[in-house]
């Protein structure tokens, strides 16, 4: 029986969750992962398969009862489990509310019954909608699509459990996270996966709008470190933005990757710029970015073979995949 402190990572076989697992093991924790492998992949944890301090539970978080042994004796719960992406959330809003809101409530109840020291919630900067920039944590909430709404309602539940039950919680609102293990399959989504497959195939990069829109890209290991600090601090009931605080034009990404471009129509409900004000997380938690955008992109290119089996998107398939987006979000 290990005498290491125990941390639970929901969604721990996913993109950010698996990097969180790496960091916690490195920091001396015994880690219990719960991930039903709808978005996560066992291959994200394959390098840890012989580690005696890691366990993987493949149940859905929505089946957890408050007294579930998964969270027993745990010090921290890092809650990443949920479903992402804009278009599927417009098509299946009920499933998003179920997974991202009720799923969160199930995990909160486990954490409350286990008496955990800190529950850290993975929130999304999409809650801010078409925001003023740089965006501070007290910016008005204005979700533009069901995914953003579901993540914000999950966050509201987290703070309600803090208010009513005294559960120690913090929430980290993630801006544009990228890095190795970012999902490579399925629906049309984050720009990195789309571009890396296009680069492998020698196809032009499909740039939305004119490419001058800026995104606050933040490397995944820097995100994991933000969560670790939010779990270790004595502070509770706090919301922290995590981004680089230095948004990059999509055209800069194209320049670093190198290749031809084709431009697509700008999409409704998408901000021209995402830009995290990160003063709070820097001053309260001592967090700072350690991987520059240029270094992060270089690391992605080193892992480009991971996108060999990813879907190859072109203007026609993107138009088809995003039709529902235009249909419902065009004002």
3-class secondary-structure state, position 143: coil
DSSP string, 176-235: EEE-TT---SSSS--HHHHHHHHHHHTPPEEEETTS--EE-EEEHHHHHHHHHHHHHSS-
Stretches where the chain sits below pLDDT 50 are 188
For residue 170, the model assigns a pLDDT of 98
For residue 147, the model assigns a pLDDT of 95
Q: Where are the domains of the chain?
A: 6-177+219-242, 179-216+246-274+291-329
For residue 185, the model assigns a pLDDT of 61
For residue 189, the model assigns a pLDDT of 58
CATH of domain 179-216+246-274+291-329: 3.90.25.10
For residue 36, the model assigns a pLDDT of 97
For residue 271, the model assigns a pLDDT of 85
The architecture CATH gives domain 6-177+219-242: 3-Layer(aba) Sandwich (3.40)
Q: Is 145 a catalytic residue?
A: no
For residue 222, the model assigns a pLDDT of 98
Catalytic residue among 121, 128, 145, 147: 147
Whole-prediction pTM:
0.95
For residue 154, the model assigns a pLDDT of 98
- Under a CB-based contact definition with an 8 Å cutoff, are residues 228 and 21 in contact? no
DSSP string, 248-316: EEHHHHHHHH---EEEE---TT--SB--B--HHHHHHH-----S-HHHHHHHHHHTGGGGTTSPPP-HH
For residue 103, the model assigns a pLDDT of 98
CA 21/CA 33 separation, integer angstroms: 8
Over the stretch 4-22, which tens digit does the pLDDT of each residue have?
A: 999 999 999 999 999 999 9
């Amino acid at each position: 029986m290990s005498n290491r402190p125990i941390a639970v990572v929901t969604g721990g076989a996913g993109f950010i969750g698996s990097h969180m697992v790496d960091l916690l093991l490195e920091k001396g924790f015994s880690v219990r992962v719960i991930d039903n492998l709808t978005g996560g992949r066992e291959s994200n944890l394959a390098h840890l398969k012989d580690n005696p301090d890691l366990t993987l539970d493949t149940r859905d978080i929505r089946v957890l009862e408050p007294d579930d042994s998964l969270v027993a004796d745990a010090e921290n719960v890092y809650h990443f489990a949920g479903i992402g992406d804009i278009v599927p959330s417009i098509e299946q809003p009920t499933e998003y509310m179920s997974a991202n809101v009720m799923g969160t409530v199930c995990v909160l109840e486990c954490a409350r019954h286990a008496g955990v020291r800190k529950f850290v919630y993975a929130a999304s900067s999409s809650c801010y909608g078409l925001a003023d920039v740089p965006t501070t944590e007290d910016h008005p909430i204005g979700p533009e699509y069901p995914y953003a709404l579901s993540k914000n309602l999950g966050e509201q539940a987290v703070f309600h459990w803090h208010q009513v039950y005294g559960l120690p919680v913090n929430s980290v609102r993630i801006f544009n996270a990228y890095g190795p293990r970012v999902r490579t399959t399925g629906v049309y989504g984050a720009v990195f996966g789309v571009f890396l497959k296009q680069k492998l195939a020698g196809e032009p990069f499909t740039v939305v709008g004119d490419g001058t829109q800026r995104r606050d890209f933040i490397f995944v290991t820097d995100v994991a470190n933000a969560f670790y600090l939010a779990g270790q601090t004595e502070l509770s009931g706090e919301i922290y933005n995590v981004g680089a605080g230095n948004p990059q034009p999509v055209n800069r990404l194209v320049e670093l990757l190198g290749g031809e471009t084709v431009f697509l129509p700008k999409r409704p409900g998408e901000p021209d710029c995402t830009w995290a004000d990160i003063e709070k997380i820097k001053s309260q938690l001592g967090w700072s970015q350690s991987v520059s955008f240029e270094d992060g992109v270089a690391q992605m290119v080193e892992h480009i073979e991971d996108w060999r089996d990813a879907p190859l998107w072109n203007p026609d398939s993107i138009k088809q995949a995003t039709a529902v987006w235009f249909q419902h979000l065009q004002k």
